[in-house]
Amino acid sequence: MQIRATILAILLPLGASAEQPLSVIEWITQRPPDGITYPVLNEPPVSNSIDHSTIDVSSLDAAVVAIGLVPGNVTGLPVDLWLGSDANVLSGLIAKVAVADYPAMQRLLYTLLLSETLPPSAHNDAETLLLARIDRLLELGATDPAQALIELAGATENADRFGRWFDATLLNGDEDKACAAMADAPHLAPDYAARIFCDARRGDWQTAALTLETVHALGVLPPADLSLLDRYLSPGIFEGAPPLPAPDGPDPLTFRLFETIGERLPTASLPRGFATVDLRDVAGWKAQLEAAERLTRIGALGPNRLLGLYSERRPAASGGIWDRVHALQRFETALETGSNDAVAKTLPEVWQAMRDVRLEVPFASLFAERLADLSPDDQSTKSLIWQISLLGPDYETPAQTPPDDTKRSQYLGALALGQPGLTKAPDATAQAISEGFAANPPLSQQRLLDAGQLGEALLRAIILMDSGARGNPGDLTSAMATLRAVGMEDTARRAGLQLMLLERR
């Protein structure tokens, strides 16, 4: 399977001279797990605690293997990230941590989900945690890495894995692979509908039709599913018939069956994973754009893919997404000319358009470096470019030359350099961030770190960050202190800058 370039860029390198890193999934695409030659993460390796681990001895037959798409020398995370924690607790945390508002937290969560790690302890724990990782990837819309992770672990090991794999392949357009596996192991089929679909996909229409007749006789599928399968296997009989009612909460198989019979369902109201389907050429340009924005916003698609769609053609209409496309294309044209005046005229409009759909950081990752080469005379444009640069890959370089001597600009520059305490905080949020850079983790977090439960501590730090962003300064301080205590300096700085600049509150 060729994994499409999706999800966000992971924790970026410290230092202003570091080149823009690849996203986790872009890295997987270009550097498959069996061909690793260099790390792309510039956070230093993270330590669970200052204590040396004890050595456990066990039979080779009982040995467990680390599972993940990205090795520790890339993520900087230890392979025993989850050891010592309860698998059910970890699964609950993975399912509920909120990362929609801040890309720095998105990066951290994706890194935790995709890192090559050992299970907490026993075999049952391994399965519980693996399924939780896969489920969250699917929920985030990262269907390609979810499929790859299941395949790496063994998609046909049990029905739970296979069901998730089947769903992922349907969303990725890779269902023939799952159907071939189902033919070899029919007992893994999620239901009769899946068997009928796969038999037909593999060209065995006779078996598919016979199975459907049997299912009709036994009544083991809902009438709506039977009607859909009838049209799937015998489209000629229903030519000219009125469309079927749109189902509530369709699963991926139902979605694909509706697509196959020519009654494609809109994805906007469906879970985020369905947006992946609209990235294919079978969808219209507007549907592709909306899906790309939706996935890029949560970090499940690389900004370059979105830029490619924005630039694909000229919009033939106005309003909504077409205004964003038009603003982006006008800005790109101005940037190509190298004219400070042209950029000054187009940048505010495109920046507001990106703010409207919460795509400021992806925009900054694409254009911050080129904007930094400009020298506009207009002070407002100069300030805007500076703030965009602080959200970009290389935030340290612009941090050294704030555009003015206001308290806010001086603070943002100091924060980007990792020294927010050297300037006076302009507001309560900034004060909480500064205190986090000077404080130790709270006792609850320190206990987890001392026990080597790094993964759980980082998940709880994400929760603390979300709570802090919602107006709880003590939690924000605790989150920052935790990240810095384990060496995630870059993540802490980016999270602080995003909290100050994105105005999500």
Tens place of pLDDT per residue across the chain (505 aa): 333 333 333 333 333 333 334 455 455 545 444 433 222 344 555 545 444 444 445 444 445 789 999 998 899 999 999 999 999 999 999 999 999 999 999 999 999 999 999 999 866 789 999 999 999 999 999 999 999 999 999 999 999 999 999 999 999 999 999 999 999 999 999 999 999 999 999 999 999 999 999 999 999 999 999 999 999 999 989 988 899 999 999 999 999 999 999 999 999 999 999 999 999 888 889 999 999 999 999 999 999 999 999 999 998 888 899 999 999 999 999 999 989 999 999 999 999 999 999 999 999 999 999 999 888 888 999 999 999 999 999 999 999 999 998 999 999 999 999 999 999 999 999 999 999 999 999 999 999 999 999 999 999 999 999 999 999 999 999 999 999 999 999 999 999 999 999 988 6
Q: Shortest CA distance to 177 belongs to which of 141, 201, 207?
A: 201
Q: In angstroms, rounded to a whole number, what is the distance separating the alpha carbons of residues 382 and 409?
A: 12
Contact (CB, 8 A) for 463 and 93: yes
> Is the dihedral angle over the CA atoms 236, 242, 247, 250 positive or is it negative?
positive
Q: Are 250 and 270 in contact (CB under 8 A)?
A: yes
* The pLDDT value given to residue 45: 57
- Report which of 468, 488, 487, 490 is spatially closest to residue 479, judged by C-alpha positions: 468
Q: Tell me if residue 443 falls in helix, strand or coil.
A: helix
Count of Cβ atoms closer than 10 Å to residue 17 Cβ: 8
Report how far residue 300's alpha carbon sits from residue 140's, in angstroms, rounded to the nearest whole number.
7
- Alpha helix positions (H), 102-191: 103-114, 123-140, 143-153, 159-172, 175-184
Cβ 274 vs Cβ 249: under 8 Å: no
Asked whether the beta carbons of 224 and 248 are under 8 A apart, the reply is no
Question: In degrees, to the nearest 5, what angle opens at C-alpha 18 toward C-alphas 17 and 19?
Answer: 115
Which pLDDT belongs to residue 122?
67
Strands of 205-277, DSSP E = none
Q: Note the pTM of the prediction, 2 decimals.
A: 0.88
Residue 480 · residue 492 · CB < 8 Å: yes
pLDDT number for residue 281: 82
Whole-angstrom distance, CA of residue 113 vs CA of residue 106: 11
Query: What sections of 243-339 are H helices per DSSP?
Result: 252-260, 285-297, 303-310, 321-337
pLDDT at 246: 93
Q: What b-and-e string marks burial along 70-82, b requiring 16 or more CB atoms within 10 Å of the CB? A: bebebbbbbebbb
Report which secondary-structure segment, H or E, holds 438: helix 428-438
CA angle 259, 264, 266 (to 5 degrees): 135
Phi (first) and psi of residue 487, to 5 degrees: 90, 10
- Nearest-10 Cα torsion for 256, 257, 259, 262: 170
Name 164's bridge partners. none
Is 192:220 a contact under the CB 8 Å cutoff? Answer: yes
